[in-house]
Amino acid sequence: MVHELLGINNNRIDLSRVPGISRELKEVVLSAENDQFYANNMYLNFGEIGTNIRNLMEDFQKKKPKGQQKLESIADMKVSGRQILQQ
């Protein structure tokens, strides 16, 4: 599905045209050898991938300490990710 939206060339996705993208994310490598989620989902359709992402997020939220807010949007995920990196 990524190849339909963004294109893949030698397992690399060029995100340099995305506004506000950080320098380290301008080119992303998708490899089934290094990314278990990608390996498990690369041949699935959007519905199946969406279900797997939801399950992954639910598992992640179960591991979070109580009292932290529930992730409901991509913005919430970004904030949570930054907080984890700062720890």
Asked if 5 and 28 sit in the same domain, the reply is: yes
6 & 30 share domain: yes
Q: Are residues 18 and 50 in the same domain?
A: no
At residue 42, the 3 state secondary structure works out as: coil
Q: 0.75 cut: is pTM over it?
A: no
3-state secondary structure of 76: helix
Q: Are residues 30 and 48 in the same domain?
A: no
Q: Is residue 48 predicted with pLDDT exceeding 90?
A: yes
50 lies in the same domain as 70: yes
Statement: residue 47 has pLDDT above 70: yes
Question: Of 11, 2, 74, which is closest to residue 45 (Cα–Cα)?
Answer: 2
- Greater pLDDT, 84 or 14: 14
CA–CA gap between residue 86 and residue 79 (Å, rounded): 11
Largest CA distance in the chain: 43
Based on the domain organization, do 11 and 31 belong to the same domain?
yes
Instruction: State the average pLDDT over residues 33-40.
Output: 89
Highest mean pLDDT among 13-17, 57-61, 70-74: 13-17
Q: Are residues 32 and 60 in the same domain?
A: no
The SS3 of residue 3 is: helix
Domain residues for the domain of 72 are 44-87
Query: DSSP assignment, residue 73?
Result: S
Q: How many structural domains is the chain composed of?
A: 2
